Amino acid sequence: MKISIGMLSTRSARKMRVLAVLCLLFCALAVQAQWRLLGPEGGDARSLAYDPKNPDRILLGTSAGRLFESVNGGRSWNSFAHLGSGDDYVLDSIAFDPLNSKTIYIAAWSVENNGGDIFRSRDGGKTWHALPGMHGKSVRAFAVAQSDPRILTAAALDGVYRSFDAGDTWKRISPDGHPDLKNFESLAVDPKDPAIIYAGTWHLPWKTSDGGQTWHNIKNGIIDDSDVFSIIIDHSNNQTIYASACSGIYKSESSGELFHKIQGIPGTARRTRVLRQNPVDPNVVYAGTTEGLFKTTDGGKTWKRITPTDYILNDVLIDPRNPMRLLIATDRAGVFASDDAGATFYPSNTGFSHRQITAVIRDVRDPKTLYASVVNDKEFGGVFVSHSAGKQWEQWSAGLDGRDVYDLAQASNGTLLAGTNQGVYRLMPDGREWQPANVVLHEKTFPPPKPHRVRGKLVYPKPKPPVWLESLLTAKVNSLNTGAAKWFAATSSGLYASLDAGNSWTGGEIQGERNFIDVTQEGSTVLAVTPAHLFASSDDGATWTVKNVPQYVTRINSVSIAGGTWWLATREGALRSTDSGQSWEHVLEGLPARNLIAIDRTRDGLMLATAEDQVSVFISRDQGATWLPSAGSNYSLRKVLELDGHLVAATAFNGLAVNDSDVVAVLPEKTAGRSGNE
């Protein structure tokens, strides 16, 4: 017998409705695992290590706790794991157990404090655990003894530590409180005798031959006060030691008792971060410097630079099966590969994106064209464009000269604006090079001239008309808005407006406030914020008034307008005003109560909100009356836009991410919730 809903009891019908709601929520949660990185590819690559049982499997460490994996020898990458509770861990050391490659160690140090960890996985990287004995240690170098993989050595800022049970327990082997045995940066363990350890500090190298019971300085021949970045032991002769320092590269043929400085590398490239020796030919050594990769084929007698000078090297990986195959990890530019021992290199970043995205916008003429801006990548950053909805990217930074870009905007005619750390730059429609657009006009008025007597008669001179003076906008530009005839720029030196498509600007501080971080407009209403104040104009920016916000708000992050309703994203969550800022409502309705970064309205009328330290996007279909979390990810999401029913999010450190599921479609038309007034 068929049963309809109308034939069920009220209780049964209620249960079915609950099940339907749960099913809907499950569908929303099911899309959480569908995020993938979209690019732009490249960025800060810190460390590389291959699986000794399968060298085609390579792990890549970054500067934000993110670990990437390649299963095809570095030809493509996938996001593999995130280590640490935040984005502050630098993963500079990765080591596999040479006998059991399912055991992996990763040493981390924090860029925010002197903390760090050593993580261990016993299942090939599926799960990771911080080793309690090293929690809180800023570990800068790490080594697994080749002769006994149970013996681990870690060099941290506060000393050298050792474990004899694969990391379960640890013991300090450098003296506590020693004035010089501290701030360790590099490490090498003799492959035959693990009691012999070389350790480099921020002030010269040290050595122990008895597992740390005694230490002695091995600085003979090294310029005093040299940071030692890397130490390697010749695999064919353990008496030959190479050490790199801020003063150059040194070689010892007496187990470190006497060094001599290697010549042939320019003084400007002396900061050699990494040394690597060819596993087959010991005379071949690679030196990764801050001005490219150098190579010697005669044991250091002569050197040749084999990459461009703007490559900053962090690591070098040599395929043990084929030493002609190299991978290098660089600052800002990602991974490069060579199949001819360094004669030529090519990018190998497919699937790897470790960039700090500040803005992402969609082209006004072509919805498949996206623009993204980045910071901290210098000449490898700036602005990127994709004409294929993110499938391929091209750097569009000619003319920006390595400037950081904090915001992007586009006018209705296609003109692009970039807000940089040094003013506004403009790219005309179909242009290929950015031009500065930083002329600021200041009106100078003159006091009325005083009358004077000529032949006894009082003469009133003609007033001098005001003149316009020019200066240049060189401040950091935090936000741009080109939504109407008048454009606005929120900068660290004030709020500026342009009536001639960016050819000139007027403005500056408002009521003594200079550090404007966001600006938006709807019709003739313009809103601009500093971290502490909201300014509003109802006459297209001609006059401004400061609006009161609740006293409990400690920081404003951004401002937006949606259908006449004002929104503030603040450290204390979302605030909404429906009466032009006269009163404010603290909106919950599914939104987090704290640390909201942005609230934006899409072209299709949806509202999207993101919060710091959250991995979800919050979506509203009813102009912000109710919200539903959706599209959870394991990336720190920032700004979000909707593209063909999918969400594209700017992440804090991993470029753009896209959710392949139609996350907008699974949202209900309306959701239940309530808000509170404060």
- Residue 7: predicted pLDDT: 35
Gap between the Cα atoms of 465 and 462, Å rounded: 9
Give the three-class secondary structure for 11: helix
Give the three-class secondary structure for 210: coil
Q: Sketch the domain layout of the chain as residue ranges.
A: 83-217
Taking the CB of residue 321, how many other CB atoms lie within 10 A of it?
Answer: 12
- Residue 270: predicted pLDDT: 65
Gap between the Cα atoms of 137 and 161, Å rounded: 10
CA 665 remoteness from chain centre: 30
- Residue 668: predicted pLDDT: 54
Residue 42 backbone zone (phi > 0: left; psi -120 to 50: alpha; other: beta)? left
What DSSP designation does 223 have?
A: P
Contact predicate 572/554, CB 8 Å? yes
Residues 6+ apart with CB under 8 A from 272: 229, 230, 244, 245, 248, 249, 265, 287, 288, 289
Contact predicate 63/111, CB 8 Å? yes
The model's pLDDT over 365-393, given as tens digits with 9 standing for 90+, comes to 998 999 999 999 999 999 999 999 999 99
- Residue 660: predicted pLDDT: 78
Find the distance separating the first CA and the last CA of the chain, reported in whole Å.
Answer: 55
Residues of the chain with pLDDT under 50: 1-33, 670-678
Gap between the Cα atoms of 319 and 285, Å rounded: 14
Q: SS in 3 state form for 224-252?
A: CCCCEEEEEECCCCCCCEEEEECCEEEEE
Q: What predicted TM-score, i.e. pTM, was given to this entire model?
A: 0.87
- Residue 665: predicted pLDDT: 60
Gap between the Cα atoms of 119 and 142, Å rounded: 11
């239940």: which residue's tokens? 672
Contact predicate 644/659, CB 8 Å? no
Contact predicate 78/68, CB 8 Å? yes
> 140-177 burial by CB neighbour count: b if 16+ within 10 A, else e?
bbbbbbeeebebbbbbbbbbbbbbbebbeebeebbeee
Exposed / middle / buried, residue 420 (Cβ in 10 Å: 0-12, 13-18, 19+):
buried
Gap between the Cα atoms of 484 and 501, Å rounded: 10
CA nearest to 370, candidates 359, 379, 378, 380:
359
Query: Mean pLDDT for the chain?
Result: 89
Token pair of 392 as six digits: 């391929």
């695999």: which residue's tokens? 235
Beta-bridge partner residues of 285: 277, 296
Gap between the Cα atoms of 153 and 149, Å rounded: 10
DSSP string over 428-494: -TT--S-EE--EEEEEE--PPPPPEEETTEEE-PPPPPPEEEEEE--S-EEEEE-SSSSEEEEETTE
Residue 333 backbone zone (phi > 0: left; psi -120 to 50: alpha; other: beta)? alpha
Output Rg (C-alpha) for the chain, integer angstroms. 30
Exposed / middle / buried, residue 191 (Cβ in 10 Å: 0-12, 13-18, 19+):
middle
> Architecture of 83-217 per CATH?
7 Propeller (2.130)
Give the three-class secondary structure for 277: strand
Exposed / middle / buried, residue 395 (Cβ in 10 Å: 0-12, 13-18, 19+):
middle
Beta-bridge partner residues of 616: none
- Residue 631: predicted pLDDT: 59
- Residue 667: predicted pLDDT: 54
Exposed / middle / buried, residue 43 (Cβ in 10 Å: 0-12, 13-18, 19+):
buried
